[in-house]
């Protein structure tokens, strides 16, 4: 049985869900609140983080390790390019989103507005929200700059870099924190990736007491 332990608004979980769906690998989704540190979950991943994927008799954790594994073992729909230099560019951009964007934007907006509410650990910190709101502008401008020259983030083909970026942006879009009017290039790219069948599961996510804005699941926004 293939199982993905995840959280609906975890960008790292969403990246793996997108890769699984794009490769048409069906999994059972199991929601896990990693901060509860359940012993059964810690035995799967001592880092106490989602996602954790059980597949092929293995228990895999860390979203980058999982995505690279899936692309190596299920290569029919390839999400990594063929040349080492193109792969380096994909990995640079995946890390850009999972590290820099996560630290400067996702943590400041999503974790302040949503995770604190779910964990009941207080109210959003206005200064962090302002920091995140400011930082996302620069990141959207960087995406605009890339997409002015490229069809997809890392080049001519859709790769893990697009899924890493879309995973973060889709979480922020759920709480209406993305200004899609800032760049036509970015809006067009996101409409393309959001229209893929792989995106359906994510667009159907519904958190109790938190509705996404109407454009969230609208493929034409």
Which residues contribute to the site for its own copies (CB under 8 A)? 46-47, 56, 58, 60-62, 64-66, 68-69, 72-73, 84-85, 87-89, 91-92, 95-96, 99-100, 142
- Taking the C-alpha atoms of residue 138 and residue 200, their distance in angstroms, rounded to an integer, is 28
**Considering beta carbons, is residue 58 or 206 the nearer one to its own copies?**
58
C-alpha atoms less than 13 angstroms from C-alpha of 180 in its C-beta half-sphere: 17
**Considering beta carbons, is residue 9 or 52 the nearer one to its own copies?**
52
**Considering beta carbons, is residue 9 or 60 the nearer one to its own copies?**
60
Whether omega before 105 lies within 30 degrees of 0, making that bond cis, reads: no
Q: How far is the CB of 120 from its own copies (least distance, A)?
A: 23
Q: How far is the CB of 2 from its own copies (least distance, A)?
A: 15
Largest CA distance in the chain: 48
- Taking the C-alpha atoms of residue 221 and residue 217, their distance in angstroms, rounded to an integer, is 8
- Taking the C-alpha atoms of residue 213 and residue 215, their distance in angstroms, rounded to an integer, is 6
Cα 215 vs. chain centroid, distance in angstroms? Answer: 18
Q: How far is the CB of 85 from its own copies (least distance, A)?
A: 6
**Considering beta carbons, is residue 57 or 208 the nearer one to its own copies?**
57
């Amino acid at each position: 049985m293939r199982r993905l332990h995840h959280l609906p608004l975890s960008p790292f979980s969403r990246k793996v869900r997108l890769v699984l769906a794009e490769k048409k690998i069906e999994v059972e989704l199991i929601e896990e609140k990693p901060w509860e540190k359940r012993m059964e979950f810690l035995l799967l991943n001592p880092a106490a983080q989602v996602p954790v994927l059980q597949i092929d008799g293995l228990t895999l954790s860390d979203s980058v390790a999982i995505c690279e594994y899936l692309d190596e073992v299920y290569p029919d729909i390839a999400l990594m390019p063929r040349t080492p230099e193109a792969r380096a560019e994909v990995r640079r951009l995946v890390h850009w989103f999972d590290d820099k964007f996560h630290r400067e934007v996702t943590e400041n907006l999503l974790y302040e507005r949503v995770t604190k509410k779910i964990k009941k650990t207080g109210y959003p910190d206005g200064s962090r929200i302002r920091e995140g709101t400011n930082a996302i502008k620069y990141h959207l401008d960087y995406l605009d700059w890339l997409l002015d020259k490229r069809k997809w983030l890392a080049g001519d083909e859709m790769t893990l870099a697009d899924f890493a970026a879309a995973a973060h942006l889709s979480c922020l879009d759920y709480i209406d924190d993305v200004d899609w009017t800032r760049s036509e290039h970015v809006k067009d790219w996101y409409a393309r990736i959001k229209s893929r069948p792989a995106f359906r599961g994510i667009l159907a996510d519904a958190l109790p007491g938190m509705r996404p804005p109407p454009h969230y699941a609208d493929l034409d926004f």
